[in-house]
Amino acid sequence: MMCYMGLLAYLLCSAGLLTIREVPAGTRLEVRLTSTVGTYASKAGSPVSAVLIAPVRVGGELLLPAGSVLTGTVKSVRRVGLGVVHETAAMALEFTEIVLPDDETLPLGARVVAVDNGRERVEKSGEIGGMRMTSSVAYRVSGYIRMAMMMDIHAELAVWAIKTLVIQVPEPEIYFKPGTELSLTLTEPLPARAQHEPEDAPRRLAESERDALDQILAMMPNRTTRPSNGKPSDLVNLMFVGTREQIKAAFLAAGWSEAAPCNMRSRLKGVRAFVEGRGSESFPMTHLLLNDEEADMSWQKGLNDMSKRHHVRIWKQPQTWNGQEVWAAAATRDIDFAYMHHGSAMTHRIDPNIDQERDKIAYDLAYTSYVETLDWAERSSLPGVARNGTGDLMSTDKRMAVIRLRDCDFPRLSTDSEEMDSLPVHGRMGQRFLRREILSMRNDIVRNNVYWRGYEGVRWIVTSVRKRNRPPEVADVAPNPSFTRFVSLR
């Protein structure tokens, strides 16, 4: 069938009735799952589907619109089960077709290169690997406690209680529900014809609007500052035009949540999530100032581990644009923890490529249909390379994303899915209890001894020192070529 489609396309192209372009190999596709997959219940051959959340343009032409549907199958699964054979889970996904909004179906060759989660990792082969249940901070601490206790029957009972009833450990099976985001890269060129802009697609700025915009940007500050010492920190790289209610509605539809107030309760919740190896949607952000004012809003997209998250701080500005409120924002992406880093006992390390987070937010909101205008404006006063308040490197193309919002009665949600039945995350309580005991025993045999604990402690210290003294690494989500192509158009 694909051969006939290719022959038909070739004949039409030869006759001048159809102009075929090509999405080159290596192009990044940002997608969001619309089906559930998991290592416990999915099998090789199980169907999987996703939706493209950022458009792909080549040479100024739209070839793959946002909203295009990708279909494929689960290629392979490695299940933890009871933990007798495997300690970690693994899964490979294979997307083979993409269906455009006009129902045209194109064959697809793509490989998963990143999962927008905190715990899972992606190998060069495209296989997604999970974490070991007993690798959480909570379980490691319990191991040191157990070593320090006297070995008698009462101590054994206390050890079992600490290990089994008190300490919460992360789920070792991989489980991706609708809304989980992946990054794919094309493994071979994709022939495609130019597409019409969707009716609800954001429009670009007119030249007359750019003149008014330049006046607003000239009065807008370039950087935030740390309240403790006034040190320059994050760069201002986003501008919103609209009401607080419109901003809130757009972020909620895109799957973001407001950060919790920075107080003792929220910090304790965050510490608990950290030691238990899970994520937290309400973890607070450190305070940053813009024009000596704290942020009016703080939004984040938490992942399944505290070490990584997307986040943005937003400040209302005194200017207006055509009678609408103007908001300045600074967006960065946390990619790892940093210890004893520039005067902070514990903080986050950010992705140096802050343009990636800027564009991530722009396309997340545009996908919801709440965005009326989306464009990028030059800010020559921004430094191309700088460091934030904790010393992390930041690099930018000196552009600011300008997002004008509108009301929307029927937004596209980040969790939109046609799936009727979900998959179980894991087995029943008895199976989970048995799995935990088996994995704990395996871990204790290999790692619960003075030699391993000593090695582990030294390794942690050496790793922390190296991270502190070297420049930050680029995050696992690399810049999207489609972003660059879109922004570069005039």
User: Comparing 362 with 141, which gets the higher pLDDT?
Assistant: 362
What is the pLDDT averaged over residues 6-24? 58
pLDDT band at residue 280 using 50, 70 and 90 as cut-offs? low
User: Comparing 227 with 157, which gets the higher pLDDT?
Assistant: 227
d(CA 390, CA 80): 39
Q: What is the pLDDT of residue 419?
A: 64
pLDDT per residue over 440-473, tens digit each?
Answer: 777 777 776 677 767 777 877 777 677 666 554 4
- List own/partner pairs for 105-111 with CB under 8 A and 24 or more apart: 106/190, 106/191, 106/192, 107/2, 107/5, 108/70, 108/72, 108/186, 108/190, 109/186, 109/187, 109/188, 109/190, 110/29, 110/70, 110/184, 110/185, 110/186, 110/187, 111/184, 111/185, 111/187
- Eight-state DSSP code of residue 163: I
For residue 313, the tally of other CB atoms under 10 A from its CB is: 27
Considering only CA atoms, which of 212, 234, 184, 189 is closest in space to residue 28? Answer: 184
Q: Please determine, for residue 186, whether its predicted confidence score (pLDDT) is greater than 80.
A: yes
Considering only CA atoms, which of 243, 467, 238, 242 is closest in space to residue 332? Answer: 238
Q: What is the pLDDT of residue 462?
A: 78
Poorest-pLDDT segment among 223-232, 313-322, 441-450: 441-450
pLDDT per residue over 75-103, tens digit each?
Answer: 999 999 888 788 889 999 999 999 999 99
Q: What is the pLDDT of residue 340?
A: 59
d(CA 128, CA 484): 27
Considering only CA atoms, which of 418, 378, 414 is closest in space to residue 399? Answer: 378
303-to-12, 277, 283 alpha-carbon distances in Å: 46, 11, 11
Q: Which backbone phi and psi does 135 adopt, to 5 degrees?
A: -95, 0
pTM: 0.77
Which domains are present in the chain? Answer: 23-131+175-193 (2.40.128.260), 135-170+434-468 (no CATH), 207-415 (no CATH)
Q: What tokens does 314 get? A: 């937003």
Q: What is the pLDDT of residue 481?
A: 39
Q: Which backbone phi and psi does 141 adopt, to 5 degrees?
A: -60, -40
Q: Where are the beta strands (DSSP E) in 351-440?
A: 371-378, 385-387, 393-395, 399-405
For residue 343, the tally of other CB atoms under 10 A from its CB is: 11
Poorest-pLDDT segment among 42-56, 108-122, 166-180, 300-314: 166-180
